[in-house]
Amino acid sequence: MLPLLQVRGVHKYFGGVHALEGVDFEVGAGEVVGLVGDNAAGKSTLARIIAGVYRPDAGDVLLEGKPVQIASPKMALDLGIATVFQEFALVESLDVVSNLFLGREIVHRGLLARDEMERLTRSYLRQLNSRIPDVHVQLQTLSAGQRQCVSIARALVTDPRIIVLDEPTASLSVAQTAEVLQHIERLRDMGLGVVFIGHNLSDIRAVADRIEVLRHGHNNGSFPAGSAKQEDLLAAITGAARYPSRAPA
């Protein structure tokens, strides 16, 4: 079966900086792929290409084997790709429902369909096994882990096939991290392709099926998360060793 998303030989330049040099990447349905690497490895650049923020200077992006041009974030959403960036795109003074549907409000005959949005919000939170007790509470009253849950649930509003999570467990407590990792497992159970970008190998290994390493804009290793040795992952990240990466199908 073809992967949901494939990136083949992608290059990206920023002036004289060659940020991505022939990068390959893929994620399948019901799969969590960890994307790791040091700062300036190219992780965020690749994520922004997938999200339609940047356009590649060379190479191909394919959805279910068909080449696509992701010219904008809106086009990415239309294609079923949702991205949750590290900076929460949420409004602290609004409640959970309003945040989920901010800019995507449901309107019937000129009236805001608040009851329908509340019902859908509860449904999305149940799908994630969320512990948020009340959809009417303001975001500022929630923990950082609960706000991350709202960000992920907001992504579900667009009915995606692929979700890219940029550092979803950064700056969270141990308990909050465990909660977010459970949300990621639920996304996989729902059959979505999940890209988990992060620095914390323990978090990624806890939920990922496969780990892809980038270093200085290059692929530098592809590892099965369950059997990968910590020292091999660290060697690939730091450049102490180079490992073969699986070529896209």
Within-domain flag for 43: yes
Within-domain flag for 13: yes
CB 18 within 8 A of CB 40: no
Residue 231 main-chain phi, psi, to 5 deg: -65, -30
Cα distances from 150 to residues 61, 97, 147, 191, 241, in angstroms, run 29, 9, 5, 20, 39
CB 121 within 8 A of CB 58: no
The domain in which residue 67 lies consists of 5-87+160-238
Residues facing 166 on adjacent strands:
197
Within-domain flag for 122: no
Total number of domains constituting the chain: 1
Within-domain flag for 227: yes
Q: In what order do the strands lie in the sheet containing 218-224?
A: 81-84, 162-166, 193-197, 31-36, 210-215, 218-224
Alpha helices in 83-129 (DSSP H): 96-100, 114-127
Within-domain flag for 139: no
* CATH number of domain containing 50: 3.40.50.300
Per-residue pLDDT of the chain (249 residues; tens, 9 = 90+): 789 999 999 999 999 999 999 999 999 999 999 999 999 999 999 999 999 999 999 999 999 999 999 999 999 999 999 999 877 679 999 999 999 999 999 999 999 999 999 999 999 999 999 989 899 999 999 999 999 999 999 999 999 999 999 999 998 999 999 999 999 999 999 999 999 999 999 999 999 999 999 999 999 999 999 899 999 999 999 988 776 665 444
Within-domain flag for 36: yes
Within-domain flag for 215: yes
Within-domain flag for 121: no
